[in-house]
Structure 1
Amino acid sequence: MDSSIGKPYLFLPTAKDVWEAVRDCYSDLENSSQIYELKTQLWQSKQGDKDATTFYNLMVTLWQELDQCYEDDWENPNDATRFKKREENDRVYVFLASLNQELDEVCDRILGRKPLASMREVFSEVRREESRRKIMLRNSDGIRMQEAESSALIAKGHEPEGEKKKRPWCDHCRRPWHTKETCWKLHGKPPNSKKKPTGEGRAFQTSNAENVEQKGNSESSPFTKEQLEHLYKLFTTKMSVTPSSSLAQKGVEFGEDDWQF
């Protein structure tokens, strides 16, 4: 006790006298205001950002304070046992109803059992489920992070090691996308091979053809349709000759992955 509260009890003859005097002065038995406040806190309690252990201990503390407000005197022990079990079930319902929504699955399992488990057993199962969910969430976050990093590497032109191992590789010329059994430097170039048309040239030709057609159909064009067709032929002829000429002058050697059959 604080000295300001304990001084009046120093000269009482027995501990029983001290206890009775303190009870008469400070006891909350049948204190309606205290009971109302505690019950309101219990009814309005929500887990929120608290973990299950912290929230359970908070609820138990409120229930213990509430028990101090009652002094039950049972004549029949069986009636007392039945009342205590019903009271515990009510507290289980309040506890489960106050948990976060992600724990609804474990709440459904608990409520589906008969008889209803004790308060301590309910808390133990809720705590295990919360721990399991945290572990699964960390694992899924780690997998998503790895997938995002792999996507970023591929977007930047870097392949993960796992993808590199899947590509065919020639041990003779040390180039990808074919094997030693089909290597042209080792076995020679197939007689029916021909150069693949590049996607860039095809895209340029298609784009120019579409532009010629659109401009030819436009009434505001300063050229006639025949003039536009003539210009288009000049452009396509130049595109088909110039790349091959410059490549021939530079002496570029095509590999087997640059040809098609």
Structure 2
Amino acid sequence: MAATIDISQNPTSPYYIHPSDNPGMKLVSTQFDGTGYTDWKRSMLLSLTAKNKTGFIDGSIEKPSVDDDAYKAWDICNSMLISWLLGVLDQSIARSVLYFKSARDIWVNLEERYGQTSGTLLFSLQQALHEVRQGQDSISTYYTKIKMIWDQLDSIDPIPSCECAQCACFITQKLVKSQDDRRLVEFLMKLSDGFEVIRGSILVMSPLPTISHAYRLLLQEENHKKLYQNSHPHEGVMAFAANRRNFPDKYKQQGYNRQNIGGNYDSGKGRISYYCDHCKVPRHSIQRCYKIHGYPQNFKERKISANACEGQKDDNLNADNNMGFTPTQYQ
């Protein structure tokens, strides 16, 4: 009589329990507290698939009869899965499903309570999608933010697929392409300033590229900008300095003075305070020019500067002042 093969010892069998598996193992890092069920469910399915245990929660592996040889192995695996599920649930939620007989019953109950699509959830996701912008984020960070919302929308509101036998209409592929094109335009619309050129290049492509392709192009453009800025760190400062050196001459030719250009420049002497457009000499403004507005009463008592018109005088002026002429009489 052939010996009965223990299915729990076969590593390819769903009944196999690895020596490292234990009831206290945490399959996911975050406990489910009633929010974010879609993300939690996705993480759990990935972990259970890696353990080859999804059949115990999706109903494909049914509970065998008590006298079946596989009953003991099933009972061990089921108890292990119940411990794993309770370990990743919040305490209040875990107590509400503690007395379920199988991991399948717990999974179905959680799906009924938290997995149903609601208008509130759709509204919150669409609102988050509307508000997301690149801002100061990098292309990678911005893409990650918007793709997380797209993935959640796909999970709760997936595109319907054609179930016709030997379908020739390819309606599902057309719907997916239409959705991808809309999301590409939405992704490009919310980019920050500075990507106008590459955005225009992407939009004129026919057909429109995939979002992944557009993301790679934008990432290359961002890296190019960073490389250029790092290789020309002082370009902006040098351009400003060059413009500053040409600033006085340009504005003197246009007839500006200190009050409307913020100062002027005296070649060889550095920056000065005023420049007179009437006399064409520095160190006073046209609003204070004595040749236009007249000399003050105490003009003869003031020390006259040699290169400013309010203090400019020649030997004749000195002689006349010594004779007692007032500035008005001299004029």
| TM-score range normalised by the length of the shorter chain | 0.5 to 0.7
Query: Paired residue for 2:314?
Result: 212
Deviation string 1:161-210 (CA, Å, 9 cap, x unpaired) is xxxxxxxxxxxxxxxxxxxxxxxxxxxxxxxxxxxxxxxxxxx99989x6
Number of matched pairs: 169
- CA 1:222/1:73 → structure 2, altered by over 3 Å: closer, same or farther? same
> 2:322 aligns to what?
222
Distance in 1 between residues matched to 2:189 and 2:129, nearest whole Å: 11
Pair 1:206–1:58, CA change in 2 (3 A)? closer
Gaps in structure 2 of 5+ consecutive residues: 1-88, 243-304, 326-331
- The one of the two structures with greater contact order (alpha-carbon pairs below 8 A, sep at least 6) is 1
> TM-score, normalization: structure 1?
0.55
**Is this contact kept in 2: 1:28–1:34, CA < 8 A?**
no
CA distance 1:75–1:15, change in 2 (3 Å):
farther
Higher percent of residues as helix = 1
1:55 aligns with 2:55: no
Counterpart in the other structure of 1:128: 220
Partner-residue secondary structure (3-state), 1:126: helix
Q: CA deviation at 1:215?
A: 2.7
Q: Distance in 1 between matches of 2:159 and 2:306?
A: 96
Name the aligned partner's letter for residue 55 of structure 1. Y
Secondary structure, aligned partner of 2:173: helix
1:216–1:224 Cα contact (<8 Å) kept: no
Task: Report the aligned-residue RMSD.
Answer: 3.5
Say if 2:214 is the partner of 1:109. no
Q: 1:114 to 1:212 in 2, by over 3 A?
A: same
Q: Distance in 2 between matches of 1:87 and 1:224?
A: 96
Distance in 2, matches of 1:73 and 1:41, equals 24
Q: 1:27 aligns with which of 105, 115, 127?
A: 115
> 2:90 maps to what in 1?
2
Amino acid at match of 2:313: N
Counterpart of 2:144, as a letter, is: N
CA 49–69 in structure 1, closer or farther in 2 if over 3 Å, else same = same
SS at match of 1:115: coil
The equivalences for 1:1-261 within 5 A come to 1-29=89-117, 31-76=118-163, 78-144=170-236, 211-212=313-314, 215=317, 221-223=321-323
| Equivalent-residue separation in structure 1 for 2:130 and 2:123 (angstroms) | 10
Instruction: Tell me, yes or no, if the aligned pair for 1:106 and 1:129 is still in contact at 8 Å.
Output: yes
Structure 2 contact 202–214 (Cα < 8 Å) conserved: yes
Conserved 8 A contact 2:159-2:175: no
AA aligned opposite 1:137: Q
* Matches of 2:318 and 2:174, distance apart in 1: 96
Q: Tell me: CA distance 1:65–1:211, structure 2 relative to 1, closer, same or farther (3 Å).
A: same
Deviation at 1:10, TM superposition (A): 4.2
Deviation sequence 1:134-170 (CA, Å, 0-9, x none): 22122232345578899xxxxxxxxxxxxxxxxxxxx
Identical-pair percentage: 17
| Distance in 1 separating the partners of 2:316 and 2:147 | 80
- State the SS of the aligned residue for 1:129: helix
Q: Match of 2:150, SS?
A: helix
